[in-house]
Amino acid sequence: MRLLVTGGCGFIGTNFVYMMLRKHPDMVIVNLDKLTYAGNRFNLLPIENEFGGTRYHFVHGDIANAELVAHIITEHKIDAVVNFAAESHVDRSIADCNPFILTNVLGTQVLLDTARRLGLPKFVHVSTDEVYGTLGPTGKFTEETPLAPNSPYSASKASADMLCRAFFETYDFPVTITRCSNNYGPFQFPEKLIPLMIMKASRGESLPVYGDGMNVRDWIYVTDHCRGVELTLLKGKPGQAYNFGGNAEKPNIEVVKTILSALGQPETLINYVKDRPGHDRRYAMDYSMAARELGFEPEYTFERGIAETLEWYKSNEAWMEQVQSGSYRTFMDKWYGERQ
Ligand code: NAD
Ligand code: TYD
């Protein structure tokens, strides 16, 4: 299979490229990435060294560039697209929604349109549980749950999902959607809860917990999500959306305390700050359709996943330093400055 992976220099894309090239010796991957603050070509240096120019090709560019996308698909004889590329952080979408619309909505439309025009037989669009909105204390999201996004980020992802649906219904274009819960693991940018708390705790800095810390997320180790995307690519039904979850619902404060305890740091570092506007209270995924139709089951418990994640960040302090560019610092300083 000759795959166009978009956003392959981000957190999940990086893990996906490693997994697919090692697992499928016949696979060729072209990685189209704009290298925003969240994209890091250095993540895939071992892959460039081992497979560069043969089974792996990197293209620096924007998914919203129709000419470039068409060129890649024809030049590399691509037969499937997996679209990870996105602006992915809720707090940034609250500060400025514009790049979210340009990449997540317009970019997805360009990819869909170009792939359809060139007759591609397979397209996997990577979406999120956040398109369903929020849950009360009980129940789980199923694929039948109506979309009700609450943040500009989730609204942009839901818009892309609607375009995918429309391309299937209108043009019979074979697009399949994955909707997954919160990922964690190696290569996650230190603005999301788990790597941010690991970074701050290991430096003895205070940990900003939004609101009462009782918002619940269903945590999935990143390689379990990558397997879900792989199964969708190989066995997913066109026009279908599949939910993926990690069987690990946790309130944020519990995650934060687990990290502090593992790093031998005191809970006095916890700093409750002003809540995120429109903060979804609880996410939980019913992934029984993916289990039934694709044979998906998460392999990692949260205990194993967080232990491996802590170990990875400990061994990769240089990576943490490297990804902290000026733009990241500016955003974080402003965001937390306003929330103290
Ligand atoms: P990320 O922010 O770590 O990486 C995004 C990547 O996309 C970066 O490499 C960036 O450079 C690239 N990119 C951004 N705009 C682009 C553009 N216009 N053209 C080409 N490349 C562009 O994100 P992530 O956490 O790896 O998430 C990947 C996908 O999975 C996203 O679509 C996200 O919505 C979805 N998702 C993420 C999670 C999670 O917990 N992180 C959960 C469910 C779904
Ligand atoms: P995040 O990692 O941003 O993922 P998402 O908003 O997509 O779920 O946040 C996970 C949870 O952690 C969410 O409830 C918000 C909370 N949170 C904090 O309490 N403090 C923080 O500094 C961050 C980044 C998140």
Closest atom of ligand 2 to 151 CA is: 6
Rounded to an integer, what distance in angstroms lies between the CA atom of residue 97 and that of residue 179?
Answer: 21
Nearest CA to ligand 1 atom 41: 183
Spell out a b/e string for 293-303, using b for 16 or more CB atoms within 10 Å of the CB, else e: ebebebebebe
Rounded to an integer, what distance in angstroms lies between the CA atom of residue 58 and that of residue 76?
Answer: 12
CA 89 – ligand 1 centroid, Å: 9
Rounded to an integer, what distance in angstroms lies between the CA atom of residue 99 and that of residue 192?
Answer: 18
How far are the Cα atoms of 3, 13, 83, 162, 190 from residue 17, in angstroms, in the given order? 10, 6, 12, 27, 20
CB-count exposure of residue 33 (10 Å: 0-12, 13-18, 19+):
buried
Give the pLDDT confidence score for residue 321 in this predicted structure: 84
Rounded to an integer, what distance in angstroms lies between the CA atom of residue 57 and that of residue 8?
Answer: 11
CB neighbour list of residue 61: distance below 8 Å, 6 or more residues apart:
32, 33, 34, 68
Q: Find tokens 């103290």 and name the residue.
A: 340
CA 220 – ligand 2 centroid, Å: 14
Give the pLDDT confidence score for residue 63 in this predicted structure: 98
Give the pLDDT confidence score for residue 305 in this predicted structure: 98
Give the pLDDT confidence score for residue 318 in this predicted structure: 86
Please give the angle made by the CA atoms of 82, 89 and 2, to the nearest 5 degrees. 10
Select from 46, 309, 284, 252 the least CA-distant residue to 179. Answer: 284
Give the pLDDT confidence score for residue 45 in this predicted structure: 94
Domain annotation for the chain: domains and CATH numbers: 2-188+220-247+282-300 (3.40.50.720)
Strand residues in 232-333 grouped as ranges (E): 241-244, 249-251, 270-273
Q: Which ligand is nearest to the CA of 128?
A: 1
The amino acid at 107: G
33 given a catalytic annotation: no
Q: Which ligand is nearest to the CA of 34?
A: 1
Q: Find tokens 């990435």 and name the residue.
A: 33
User: Which stretches in the chain have pLDDT values below 70?
Assistant: 325-333, 335-336, 339-340
The torsion angle over the Cα atoms of residues 222, 223, 226 and 227, rounded to 10 degrees, is -140
Give the pLDDT confidence score for residue 335 in this predicted structure: 66
With a 6 Å cutoff on the Cβ, whether 215 touches ligand 2 is yes
With a 6 Å cutoff on the Cβ, whether 150 touches ligand 1 is no
Give the pLDDT confidence score for residue 330 in this predicted structure: 67
- Catalytic position from the list 62, 87, 129, 230: 129
CB-count exposure of residue 5 (10 Å: 0-12, 13-18, 19+):
buried
Rounded to an integer, what distance in angstroms lies between the CA atom of residue 181 and that of residue 169?
Answer: 26
pLDDT tens-digit profile of 91-129?
999 999 999 999 999 999 999 999 999 999 999 999 999
